[in-house]
Every structure is written in C-alpha cells, then in structure tokens.
Amino acid sequence: MHDRDDREMGAVGSRLVRVDADAKVTGRALYVDDLTFPGMLEAALVLPGCAHARLLKVDASDALAMAGVHAVVTADDVPGENQVGVVDRDQPLLPSERIRYSGDAVAVVVAETRAIAREAAAAVRAETEEIPAVFDAVRAMEPGAPKVHDDGNVFLEYRVRKGNIDEGFEAADIIVERTFRTHHQEHSYLEPLGAIAVPEEHGGVTIYGTMQCPYYVQKAVATVLGLPLAHVRVIQTVTGGGFGGKEDSPSEICACAAVAAWKLRRPVKLIYTREDDFYRSSKRHPMTVTYKLGATRDGTFTAAQIRVVADAGAYSTLTPVVVFRAAAHATGPYEIPNVHTDAYGVYTNRQTTGAFRGFGQPQTIFANESIVDEVAEALGLDPIDVRLKNGLAVGKRTATNQLLTESVGLPETLRQAREASGWDAKRAERGADSDPIKRGIGVGSIYYGVSLGAKGLALDGSGAHMNVYRDGSVRIAIGGTEMGQGLLTVLTQIASDALGAPTESIHVDHVDTSVVPDSGPSVASRTTLMTGNAIIDAAEKLRATMGEVASELLGVPTGEITFRDGRVGAGDRSIAFAELAAECWARNVNTAADGWYAAPLSTFDEDGQGDAYAIYSYATHVAEVEVDTRTGHVRLVRVTAAHDVGKILNPTTLEGQVEGGVLQCAGMALYERMITDGGDILTPDFSTYILPTAMDVPEIETLFIEEPYSRGPFGAKGIGETPAMPGAVAIANAIYHATGLRFLELPITAEAVRLALADGRGR
Ligand code: MTE
C-alpha cells in the first residue's frame, strides 16, 4: 500500500512511497548485469591507453588462441557506419587509424566468460605510433598546439551580446575580474555502464542496458549496424544512477555489444569495470572562466564580460548543448544591462566530457557567484542584499534579453534561505582569533533553463502510451527514464490525478523504444515536466472517451462528469473508475491513448539574444562551514537549500533530490578531483577519487517555494539538477567568510587550504 498524507489535493503533492522502493531494497529489481539470455557470451574492451597515437595494427593472434575466446571485433567488423557522435560526426565507435584519448577502444573481445574476455583483452596487442598530445583546453587554443582533429581544436563558439559593454563598465564604480578553474568530475553512479545485445529472429537486434537516453542508443546502434530504426529495439533496464553520465556513453557500450552480437549471431553482454567507466564515460567539463563584473556604489550591476573555455576532451559528444547552456546562463540569475559572453568548446586528448547534473552551469556558477561576493564585499554590502537587488524577478530580463513573465521564485528563495539559516546573525559573528576552528557562512544562487532550450537537439517532445484494462488497472509506457530521481513515482501521481484512478491501480514501465515514439533524452531536468505533460494529454483523451460512456450510463451531461479519487460522475451519481473501465470494454470502446507534449519554441540568435528556454527554475543554498586552520580540513556543518519548484509533486522525492544534490555540491567543492598524468588516470577508483560519504552529510534544511508554471504538470517545473548547482560556490564563499581565503579553483581540498594558510594568505 502506498503511504499518503492528507494534503487537500489527490495524489499530486502527497508523500507517495517510491513505487520502485520495494523491488530495489529487497533485491528483486533486475539491473542489466542480472539478466542472461540463452547462448549469451561476455565481452571486454581493448584500450591501448595512448593519449594520442596512430594505430598501425591490432594483433589479436594470442587472444584468439586462448580457450573460450570466440572473436576479437575491430573496426573492420562494423557493418554500418563506424560512428557514434551524438551531435557531431567526429567519434568512431572503434578507431581504425587514430587514437585520440586513453579511453578509445580498438577492439571488443568476446568469450565464454567475462574473466576469459578480460584476460584475452589484455593479450591483444595494439601497435601504435605516438603523436604529440594536448591536455589543457586553453593551451589547445593556442596556435601551434597539437591538433586533436584535423580541422583544429576550437570546434564550437557561442556569443551573447546585450547592450554596450564599454558603456556598462564606464558607468561602474567598481570592477572585479578573476579567472576561475574547475576540474573533471566523475558521475560515480552506483551501477557501472552495461549492455546486452540480443540478435532477433526477424533480423533486428534488441538492446538491454542501463541508460538515460534509449533513443540515442537506438540511433547509434542502427547507425553502426546499418539497420533501419524499426529493427533496433532498446529496453532500458533498472538504472542505478545516471546524473548525466548515462546520456552519451551508453551509445558507445551498447553499439560495441551490438556489433559483437551481430558478428557472432549470439547475445553478447558487456559490463564495464569501474576503471573502464573512469576512462570511457563522459565527465563534467573542466572549464576556465574569466569573469569581469562592474557595479555602481549601491551594488547595481552595470556590465559583465565573460569568457568560458570548456575542455571537451577527444570528441565533442554533448559539448555543443552543454556549452550553449553555460553561455546562456553565464551571468548568473541577475538582470545585467550590458553583457558580453564568449564560450568555446575545445578538443584536447583527455577524457570526453558531456552532461553532468547542472549541464555546464556549476562551473560558471562558481565564477559568477564568487565574483558577486567579491563585489559586495568591496562595496561594503551584504551578499544577499546585492543578490536581491540584481536578482531576476517577473518583469526583468535575462542575459539573452528574455522577458520573464511567470514563475520566478528567486527573490523568495533568497529571503527564505536568509531567514531559515539565521544569516544576518551568523554573518556578523566573529569567533575568537585564538580559536583554530574558523566558522563561516556563504551563499550561492542560480537559475536553470528547464529542458534543452534553443540549441538543444532538434527534438523537444515527449510521449506516453496509457492503457486502461477492463478491471480498471492502468499501465503506462513512457519515453523518459527513471535513473533514481523518482520519476516513476511522480508520474504515477500525475497519472492518478489526471485520470482520477487510484495510484495503486497504476503501473509505469521503464522505456521500451518499440512502444513510445522518440521522446528525446532524459536530461536537462525535462523528464518529469515533458513526460508528465504527455501523460496528462493521454489522460485527457481517455477522460473524453470514457466520459461519454459514463454520461450515457449515469444520465449526466459529459461536461459535468469528473474523474476523481477512483470515481467517475457528478454529485451523487457516480461509479467506480474500474466499473466504468469494464463497461467501456463491454461496449468495445477503446481505452488506450497516446499522449504527447512538445515544448514551446525557444530562440537564440547569433548574438545570443532570444527566449533561450521556455521556463527557469531557481534556487539559493546557504552553506555553513568550520575550517580547521591546523589541518586545512573543511567541515560542512549545515546547508539551507531553498528551491522554487513550481509545484511540489512529492515532498519526499523532492527532499531526496535536494539532499543528494547538496552532497554532490560538497564533492565538487571539497573532494572530487580526477588526477591524470598524460593519458593515465591516477585516480580510477573510489579509494583514490574521493567522494563525500554518509560521514560527510551536513544538517540539511530544505525549503520549497511554489510559483506555478502555467505549462507545467500541475504547475511543476524541472528541478532534478538544481540541487547540485548552488552549493559548491556557497561552500567556497563560506570558506572565504571563515578564513579570508578566496579560492579560484575547485576542489578546495584540505591540502589547498593548509598551503594557502601557510603562505600567509587569508586572515
Ligand atoms: N537523482 C538520482 N537519484 N539519480 C540520478 O541519476 N540524475 C539527475 C537528477 N537527479 C539523477 C538524479 C539528472 S542529471 C537529471 S537531468 C534529473 O535528475 C532528471 O530528473 P527529471 O525527471 O526532473 O528530468
């Protein structure tokens, strides 16, 4: 039974227990590695590990001679096009001539068991000839830098031009300029990437895998096998976390398994080791952000000039969409009359980078929210006052000159976070100079354009198929993926209220691409909003047809019929939803319907002006830290997280989203750093790549502001990523407040703090 509290509405807004909780905690949930098929073989990849090299030969003779090895699959075995680029066609599935980073795989070894496949993969010899490599995006932009692709390393440029930047800086009483750097961040989902490809008797293939974007996988597999899309069916298995890392990378692993299965005409499973995942999955883009902000004495921002250089790694993957988002949002959530932003996507010989919760924004947020604090301090103003003064509100315009007309909860997030955190008193507090533990409090605010926006891939629609059975039970197929965020649960709630059927009678399935049309990716916090609206569309169609039957049965005009809490009718004339479903079945009335939702058109011209996203979500985090000046250790003590979510669909899943996001922010701010040496990753596991653990969870207070979005399901906006965005810089600002140390680079490790203090920096 689902747990409901007594909110006045139906299922929406209630604390419905996660519909997948039982299966997950009891171990019944089947992840891709739990599945097996008759005749299935196992695979492993051959990674020569070069950062940049010509590939001369792949010698598989030793591997093929090993007992239990069935094949060593190379580029020559790809029957279709050897290409898995998501946006640009720059990424071969299995390179045949040139290796561009240490995650490039040149062969797939297929064997009776995983152990044999891995042993044989180690026995495959790749003959290579080293080419000069480049490991820094800023350096890669310089003339004469080694070229990762023949057309040059800078493959992408976005600009935003608003007002007149020179006049803006002339009008300023103060100008602050700094350059900030952020590093790779690994998604660190619990379940590594994995895929199974099963050749079908009709000539097609079915793919099972852990993923966020089944339709990307479908396209990639169809491309490499040279098959029509209709012959590639992709079924998303229970997915143990994605955080953006399962947007592009699953296309590669699924396509590898598919080519191997195709060659051998047998099911093939390929599961990454954690090390494979570190080497091959896309990371958060390292960015170098130069930010110049001008303000008048009263704290009004007059101009912002920003330069963003994003390290895309060896292939562009999702960089075009991620860097667009970084460019459009680079000013932060402020109305600034004069803006000049340049953002670049640059190839290097490093790991590929793509989507990571926040999608290119946490890096620029670190810059803009640090600078805002510096400006406030230089003017002797309170950082929250300065944010309130310049912050976006209804009637104000963004950097792309978009007029905001509804659902702008930023000011309220600032006010509530200030109040609940006790900001004013704590900000004024100064501990004793003799105390080695310094306490600080800092703030960060953000806005986030929900869904893909103007420079997303062309498609921004999502579907759902809703089937009401004759006993009143409901099964819903969707095109968006549950990866841990609680999607199946909130969609059950939306469907329940949209159809008037009890939550217990509804079941929402993971994606099967053969049932629902291409619904785009489950990224950019778009899934709940888009799929939720598609479900409402399907439910409206069903209410119309089923309502006709109810009207005839009850003698009530259709316009008066309501569907609510499992009953259909008007006043005291109603029947159970299940009874109506049986009656429809008896009368041969179709009780299945397709729903669809397409996002409103967004715009972004060549000067970066336009309505870049349909709607924005807003958040403010206040972080409190204790810095031990003897060791440099920073303890995150408390976070107050205020989010404008449009409408609360389920308070429990929402709180879970925020709490997880707070920890990801702590990881970005304080611990997570992927250390590399040329092509080698020196931290390819969780004993060397340091994540926050349960021991590091601070006290977290979540505050939700409901400023409904007129096109959102019941007014809701996407919030899946916003919790992972304002926290890192709030921590950095709190460290400054505690110690006087302004860090321009993340993560701020204990070592970095200790060394800075030893240098005599800080107070
Ligand atoms: N929460 C959990 N537990 N696991 C995840 O993989 N992914 C995040 C976020 N929250 C993720 C998560 C990312 S990257 C996105 S885009 C959103 O969930 C998707 O949520 P939505 O349903 O609002 O689109």
Is the CB–ligand 1 distance for residue 212 below 6 Å?
no
- Measured from the CA of 487, which atom of ligand 1 is nearest? 22
Q: Return the residue matching tokens 């479908």.
A: 218
Upstream peptide bond of 132 is cis (omega within 30 degrees of 0):
no
Q: Tell me how far the alpha carbon of residue 497 lies from the centroid of ligand 1, in angstroms.
A: 23
pLDDT band at 457 (very low <50, low <70, confident <90, very high): low
- Please report which residue ranges of 307-456 form alpha helices under DSSP H: 319-329, 361-379, 383-390, 410-421, 423-428
Question: Which residues, at least 6 apart from 373, have a Cβ–Cβ distance to it below 8 Å?
Answer: 383, 442, 443, 733, 736
pLDDT tens string 150-198: 999 999 999 999 999 999 999 999 999 999 999 999 999 999 999 999 9
Q: Return the residue matching tokens 């793919």.
A: 207
Q: Cα-Cα-Cα-Cα dihedral of 676, 682, 686, 690, to 10°? A: -60
Is the CB–ligand 1 distance for residue 484 below 6 Å?
yes
Is the CB–ligand 1 distance for residue 445 below 6 Å?
no
For residue 568, is it left (φ>0), alpha (ψ between -120 and 50) or beta? beta
pLDDT band at 762 (very low <50, low <70, confident <90, very high): confident
- 98-99 and 125-130 beta bridge pairing: unpaired
DSSP 357: T
Is the CB–ligand 1 distance for residue 486 below 6 Å?
no
From 460, 485, 709, give the residue whose CB has the most ligand 1 atoms within 8 Å, as the site to mutate.
Answer: 485
- Measured from the CA of 656, which atom of ligand 1 is nearest? 3
What pLDDT is attached to residue 430?
Answer: 77
Average pLDDT, the chain: 96
Q: Record the tokens describing residue 34, joined without a space.
A: 């739990």
C-alpha distances in Å from residue 318, one per residue of 364, 428, 522:
17, 44, 13
CA distance 261 to 28: 27
Residue 3 has pLDDT above 60, yes or no: no
- 680-681 and 676-677 beta bridge pairing: antiparallel
pLDDT tens string 566-589: 999 998 999 999 999 999 999 999
CA distance 289 to 284: 15
Percentage of the chain beyond pLDDT 90 is 96
What pLDDT is attached to residue 458?
Answer: 63
pLDDT tens string 597-621: 999 999 999 999 999 999 999 999 9
Q: Tell me how far the alpha carbon of residue 708 lies from the centroid of ligand 1, in angstroms.
A: 21
Q: What CATH number matches the domain at 32-131+187-280, 3.30.1300.10, 3.40.50.720, 3.40.47.10, 3.90.1170.50? A: 3.90.1170.50
From 20, 191, 357, give the residue whose CB has the most ligand 1 atoms within 8 Å, as the site to mutate.
Answer: 357
Residue nearest to atom 9 of ligand 1 (CA): 720
pLDDT band at 763 (very low <50, low <70, confident <90, very high): confident
Mean local confidence (pLDDT), 737-745: 97
Is the CB–ligand 1 distance for residue 527 below 6 Å?
yes
What pLDDT is attached to residue 9?
Answer: 55
Residue nearest to atom 7 of ligand 1 (CA): 243
Is the CB–ligand 1 distance for residue 617 below 6 Å?
no
- Measured from the CA of 244, which atom of ligand 1 is nearest? 14
Is the CB–ligand 1 distance for residue 725 below 6 Å?
no
CA distance 585 to 563: 18
Residue 5 has pLDDT above 80, yes or no: no
Mean local confidence (pLDDT), 89-99: 98
Nearest of 251, 231, 242 to residue 85 by alpha carbon:
251
pLDDT tens string 400-441: 999 999 999 999 999 999 999 999 999 998 778 889 999 999
Q: Do domains 6-29+461-598 and 287-454+604-758 have the same CATH topology?
A: yes
C-alpha distances in Å from residue 707, one per residue of 410, 582, 710:
10, 40, 10
From 243, 510, 531, 725, give the residue whose CB has the most ligand 1 atoms within 8 Å, as the site to mutate.
Answer: 243
What pLDDT is attached to residue 115?
Answer: 98
Mean local confidence (pLDDT), 222-236: 98
CA distance 310 to 178: 17
One-letter amino acid at 259 equals V
Is the CB–ligand 1 distance for residue 721 below 6 Å?
yes
Q: What CATH number matches the domain at 6-29+461-598, 3.30.365.10, 3.40.50.300, 3.40.50.360, 3.30.390.50? A: 3.30.365.10
Q: Return the residue matching tokens 């097609």.
A: 204
Q: Tell me how far the alpha carbon of residue 356 lies from the centroid of ligand 1, in angstroms.
A: 10
Provide the whole-model pTM: 0.97
What pLDDT is attached to residue 760?
Answer: 87
CB-based contacts of 396-399 (< 8 A; 24+ apart in sequence): 396/335, 397/335, 398/328, 398/331, 398/335, 398/447, 398/612, 398/616, 399/160, 399/162, 399/304, 399/328, 399/329, 399/330, 399/331, 399/336, 399/339, 399/341, 399/608
Q: What CATH number matches the domain at 287-454+604-758, 3.30.365.10, 3.30.70.20, 3.50.50.60, 2.40.170.20? A: 3.30.365.10
Is the CB–ligand 1 distance for residue 525 below 6 Å?
yes
Mean local confidence (pLDDT), 466-483: 98
Residue 2 has pLDDT above 80, yes or no: no
Domain ranges for the chain: 6-29+461-598, 32-131+187-280, 287-454+604-758
Residues forming a β-bridge with 45: 108
